[in-house]
Structure 1
Amino acid sequence: MKNQIHKLFSDYKTGKTSRRYFIRQLAMITGSSAAALSLVPVLEENELRSGRAGDGKSELITEFIKYPGFTGEMRAFLARPAKGKKFPAVIVIHENKGLVPHIQDVTKRMAGEGFLTLAPDALSPVGGTPDDISNVGSLFKQLNGEETTKNFVAAVKYLKTNPLTNGKVGCTGFCWGGAITNQVAVNSPELDAAVPYYGRQPAPEDVEKIKAPVMAHYAENDPGINAGIQAFEEALKKYGKEYKIFMYEGTGHAFNNDSNPDRYNEQAAKLAWERTVSFFREKLKD
């Protein structure tokens, strides 16, 4: 029964079922509506405790939330320090595998650095990231590129007015998410900082629209992505944009992904992370 209740509560908190359905099913398990309603606060308190993680720097509160996107409700994973009132905010954009545990871990790590961090699920319009991601590529093919960008621009707006933030919002993303980070920078004048990791660059003529300072991380052995660096940098210079570009020697695409031992490069990932956090702290301060 314990596992059944846990699964039911998890489905409710992650948005898979409604509160009404959750209470009704819980009442069937516990024997009465009164018993179900008395159990809800206990479950929520247990979740709060288990949702707090530590990296030695900060105790965290994590939860799945929904925010208004361009195409409708967007599901997202949110992490923030348990202590404090107003935090600078960072959007984390996942790779082409969806909102997987690795990205949730990155989100918690960023929150551990003192940021309110939000990782939207880009696949929300097509049902969300599935548990089995073996065929997730077919879901990405169903996304409309322009609408996807607008869903992330909506995340910037959501965080700008969130009472738990200081009104400053940065964005970082990896691989596919790096490309989307660049597009958010082009399409959101409200964005305060952008850090794409090995992401495809925007069209040179679109760079003029970028308002946020940019820090871009690239892997040395990533010819497909790196082919666009020169034109990107030339456009950044042409339009007088604030930017930094870093190339990490001896690395390949996705060097930050510690869940992929074939790609992960600990030294480069650590250095890029330190640079990213420092950049966000500088650009997102009150």
Structure 2
Amino acid sequence: MKEITRRKFIATATVATGFALAVQPISAGVITTDAKGLVAGAVKIPVKDGEIPAYRAAPSTGDNFPIILVIQEIFGVHEHIQDITRRFARLGYLAIAPELFVRQGDVSKLSNIDEIRPIVAKVPDAQVLSDLDATLNWAKKSAKGNGEKLGITGFCWGGRIIWLYAAHNPQVKAGVAWYGRLVGDATELQPKYPVDIASKLTVPILGLYGGKDTGISLDTVEQMRERLQSSSSKSEIIVYPNAPHAFFADYRPSYREKEAQDGWKRLLAWFKQNGV
């Protein structure tokens, strides 16, 4: 897929409608959260080189909402990620999911994950962290968000970013990382992995991982746990022994209802106990 030029992405980029093509067919038991009583939909976030699209959801009345940044999977900000923001909004949060791949391409329109991976590989960590800073700034200035109560959560690709953003921005009160990769080979675009920043982390992060995740070995999870012991963050990692990768993704065959529900309860408790 041809990379989107910076000039073009500002004018044409939008959040996805429906589910990403690469995740069809959708499971019959997919969770759907309606927008009744919410302000929900696409917004534009001003960033250094223009603006990026995002999906946000919040209660339709009130202000000073705690903020949750929701970080996408490899499939982009498609319906599943949008639904998660609405779940948070129903609990009184302002939840925002920015499109973090938009300069590199529209992954929602690609039907094969082998087409998606090269697009995502071109996304610099520095760009992602900067875009998340801009999203937070927008939430505080334009969407009635309370920057003193900031939480982050993300899935798969976004799960890795949770650890990195918490190290980048200590204003984060707490984060929950769902099955994000912990180790990897450093590159110019992705110079560090969570294991590299673990010992210096100050933000409490809850990591939720699957014992049968074929892409994230338990050896790397244990390596992360060991590094976290020397940090002041009081972070924790939970491993669900029988869960595969993407066990929270209710639209996919990998979904495991018991583990997903338990993880969601732990997420909400983690945010609450850490002031989000």
Q: Normalising by the residue count of structure 1, what TM-score does the alignment of the two structures yield?
A: 0.74
Instruction: Give the whole-Å Cα distance in 2 for the aligned partners of 1:17 and 1:247.
Output: 37
Larger mean CA deviation between 140-149 and 129-138 belongs to 129-138
Instruction: Give the whole-Å Cα distance in 1 for the aligned partners of 2:101 and 2:13.
Output: 17
CA shift for structure 1 position 161: 4.5
Unpaired runs of at least 5, structure 2: 1-9, 15-32, 183-192
Instruction: Give the whole-Å Cα distance in 2 for the aligned partners of 1:154 and 1:249.
Output: 37
Given the alignment, which residue of 163, 169, 177 partners 1:196? 177
Give CA-to-partner distance per residue, 1:146-197, whole Å, 9 cap, x none. Answer: 3223322433344345551222211100011101111111211221111000
CA shift for structure 1 position 52: 6.6
Give CA-to-partner distance per residue, 1:228-265, whole Å, 9 cap, x none. Answer: 222211221112221122111311000000110x2000
**CA RMSD in angstroms, aligned pairs only:** 2.5
Partner of 1:100: 78
Partner of 2:25: none
**Does 2:190 align with 1:224?**
no
Larger mean CA deviation between 65-74 and 264-273 belongs to 65-74
| Larger relative contact order (Cα-Cα within 8 Å, sequence gap ≥ 6) | 2
User: Cα gap change, 1:15/1:107 in structure 2, threshold over 3 Å: closer, same or farther?
Assistant: farther
User: Cα gap change, 1:166/1:241 in structure 2, threshold over 3 Å: closer, same or farther?
Assistant: same
Given the alignment, which residue of 238, 256, 260 partners 2:248? 256
CA shift for structure 1 position 71: 4.8
Q: Which runs of 4+ in 1 moved over 6 A?
A: none
Unpaired runs of at least 5, structure 1: 1-13, 19-50
Partner of 1:147: 127
The aligned amino acid for 1:274 is K
User: Cα gap change, 1:192/1:128 in structure 2, threshold over 3 Å: closer, same or farther?
Assistant: farther
Partner of 1:277: 268
Instruction: Give the whole-Å Cα distance in 1 for the aligned partners of 2:181 and 2:13.
Output: 36
The aligned amino acid for 2:35 is A
Partner of 1:79: 57
Partner of 2:18: none
The aligned amino acid for 2:79 is P
Specify the SS of the correspondent of 2:241.
strand
User: Cα gap change, 1:17/1:250 in structure 2, threshold over 3 Å: closer, same or farther?
Assistant: closer
Partner of 1:265: 256
CA shift for structure 1 position 93: 0.8
Instruction: Give the whole-Å Cα distance in 2 for the aligned partners of 1:159 and 1:200.
Output: 27
Partner of 1:62: 40
Rg bigger for which structure? 1
Larger mean CA deviation between 170-179 and 273-282 belongs to 273-282
Given the alignment, which residue of 87, 92, 99 partners 1:114? 92
Q: Normalising by the residue count of structure 2, what TM-score does the alignment of the two structures yield?
A: 0.76
Q: Is the 8 A contact 2:167 2:197 kept in 1?
A: yes
The aligned amino acid for 1:217 is L
Partner of 1:53: 35
Q: How many residues align?
A: 235
Instruction: Give the whole-Å Cα distance in 2 for the aligned partners of 1:17 and 1:99.
Output: 12
- Between the two proteins, what is the percent identity of the paired residues? 29
Instruction: Give the whole-Å Cα distance in 2 for the aligned partners of 1:280 and 1:109.
Output: 14
Map residues 149-228 of structure 1 onto 2, 5 A cutoff. 149-162=129-142, 164-167=144-147, 168-201=149-182, 202-225=193-216, 226-228=218-220
Instruction: Give the whole-Å Cα distance in 2 for the aligned partners of 1:250 and 1:70.
Output: 43
Q: As a proportion of its length, which structure holds more helix?
A: 1
Instruction: Give the whole-Å Cα distance in 2 for the aligned partners of 1:213 and 1:115.
Output: 19
User: Cα gap change, 1:203/1:116 in structure 2, threshold over 3 Å: closer, same or farther?
Assistant: closer
Instruction: Give the whole-Å Cα distance in 1 for the aligned partners of 2:168 and 2:13.
Output: 33
Instruction: Give the whole-Å Cα distance in 1 for the aligned partners of 2:13 and 2:45.
Output: 16
Give CA-to-partner distance per residue, 1:26-55, whole Å, 9 cap, x none. Answer: xxxxxxxxxxxxxxxxxxxxxxxxx9714x
Instruction: Give the whole-Å Cα distance in 2 for the aligned partners of 1:176 and 1:205.
Output: 17
The aligned amino acid for 1:164 is K
Instruction: Give the whole-Å Cα distance in 2 for the aligned partners of 1:206 and 1:114.
Output: 32
